[in-house]
Structure 1
Amino acid sequence: MTESSKEELLQLIKRFGAYLTVKMSSIFPISLHNLNARSIGAIAGFAVAIVFTWRLLRSPSGPQRRQPKRQAPASSSSGISSQSNATLTTSGVSSSEDTRAQNVVDEFFQPVKPTLGQIVRQKLSEGRKVTCRLLGVVLEESTPEELQKQVTVRYSVLEVLLEITKFCDLYLMERVLDDETEKKVLLALEDAGVFTSGGLVKEKVLFCSTENGRTSFVRQLEPDWHVDTNPDIIFQLSRFIKYQLHISPTRTERAASNVFNSPSLEQFFGCV
């Protein structure tokens, strides 16, 4: 390695270290005065390792050709011009090195986008049991009368449901007017693939004939979260259930501090 290359690498390490210090201090609010010599040495070694790796990855693959020697300038005016060009070149290299060092640090600290599973866990505060009504949340229909005519599964919510079943005990429930409608609902859920993951089984889809019946189901199961579209049921259960999610197309006032609002279940988890 030539002297100029060593000097260039040294300057890059210095700029990298300075920029890394600023970047680290913005992420970890720890004063450098509180770090001992061993911690500072570890950070410095970490910075040098990244820089050397980066330099190796970006080094030219082929051998460099030796540049021919240029003749000395013949006049004083050309010497002044050469000195001016050298100053501009040095300034340009310095600016370029600063940018390269900043790019290395920015790439290293680029945030990683969380997975849907991680978002679901975080949003549900690690809850282990969830109850959810079907109408208006999992199904397109909004009344039991509509279910007698047809049952339409909202496919946009299926991915969220399957993620919930991976680490939560999920129960789906709904009020129906007859046994025939109950069979239609189960068949539609089965055709949509709700039961294929193994996390949700038909026995965990509960049916009742009244809205109070759904309230009783929730009270008996004592979930960490309950999802519903009926504001009256949300209000009644707010004293007994740790968290609730009120699904409503229009923004409503929170019934209690433990009640959250969202236009849909998938929007609550950022899927739309």
Structure 2
Amino acid sequence: MRLWQIVQRLWKTMLARLFSLLGEASGTTLAFTGILGLAAVLYTLYQLRSGQGRKRDEPSSSQQQPPLDPTQPSTSAAGAAAAAAAAAASKPAAGPAAAATPAAAVARRLAGIRCVTLSVPGVLLEESSPAELEESASVRAGAADLVREVARVARVYLMCHVSDDIGEAVVRGALEHAGLLGANPGQVPPHRALFCGTLDGKVSLVRQLEPDLHIDGHEKTVSDLQRFVKQLVLVQQPGAAGSSLAAAGNIQLAPSLGAALGLA
């Protein structure tokens, strides 16, 4: 039974009691008693009705929760998963493979190689003959950086065929100006820059050093070393005709020093 029904019954009982007293008490007493009883009943009814109204007006616990704001991150597991998916979708798709850096390409190409001999004319330098080196020596763009990377992972010897001391001075000056000669990491010690007056002399030097890899721009030198060096690379000059050495198992043909060291 609800509270307001109980109050109604109480109200009726009080009225009946009030009417009963009308015949037993005096007028003043009846009036006073009736007023008090009626006031008590009315006050009780007011309190009960007011309490029920407040309960009806108060929202439930689920209604008190504020509405979800789609602009705010969710703290639930589902919200966290949705946020992670949205973050992943906002990132640009990665390509099939990141482009290899020169350092990574050189390290991969020289894996297991401890000693490298490099003939500089036509490979590291623009000039390719002793006669040209009498006048000037120009280091090719980007070639010096590649030699520095080689020097970080292997023992490097720079070799050059020149006509005389003038050619040696010109070449050595170009190498020093490019910062390739020195005792710091990525540099070639000056005593490892070797000069010779003939191609046969260069072949002899390479054989004595017994490198794991020799890179050269002269086809005859590569041919002469084929039986003595495990890996050989012939850097062909632009416009040069195809080499007869292409079929050899330990010889690689490359259009540049970068290609010889694994760069595209």
For the superposition of Structure 1 and Structure 2, which TM-score range results when normalised by the shorter chain? 0.5 to 0.7
Distance 1:105-1:193 versus aligned 2 partners, 3 A rule? closer
Match of 2:133 in 1: 147
Match of 2:51 in 1: none
Match of 2:5 in 1: none
Match of 1:186 in 2: 172
Amino acid at match of 1:117: A
Residue deviations 1:121-172, cap 9 Å, x none? 2223331110011110111111101111112221321111000000110101
CA drift at 1:104: 7.4
Q: TM-score, normalised by structure 2?
A: 0.61
Structure 2 residue 240 is matched with structure 1 residue 230: no
Q: Distance in 2 between matches of 1:247 and 1:144?
A: 17
**Among residues 65, 84, 100, which one is paired with 1:114 in the alignment?**
100
**What pairs with 1:163-202 in structure 2 (closer than 5 Å)?**
163-196=149-182, 197-198=184-185, 199-202=187-190
Structure 2 residue 43 is matched with structure 1 residue 55: no
Amino acid at match of 2:174: A
Alpha-carbon contact 1:132-1:171 (below 8 Å) kept: yes
**What pairs with 1:79-94 in structure 2 (closer than 5 Å)?**
none
What runs of 5+ residues in structure 1 fail to find an aligned partner? 11-50, 60-98
Alpha-carbon contact 2:106-2:262 (below 8 Å) kept: no
Q: Distance in 2 between matches of 1:216 and 1:157?
A: 25
Residue deviations 1:210-245, cap 9 Å, x none? 100000011000001001122122122111111011
SS state of the match for residue 137, structure 2? coil
SS state of the match for residue 181, structure 2? coil
SS state of the match for residue 232, structure 2? strand
Identity across the alignment (%):
32
**124-133 vs 240-249, which deviates more?**
124-133
Alpha-carbon contact 2:148-2:180 (below 8 Å) kept: yes
Match of 2:121 in 1: 135
Bigger Rg, which one: 2
Q: CA RMSD of the aligned region, Å?
A: 3.3
Match of 2:197 in 1: 209
**What pairs with 1:10-89 in structure 2 (closer than 5 Å)?**
52=81, 55-56=83-84, 58=86
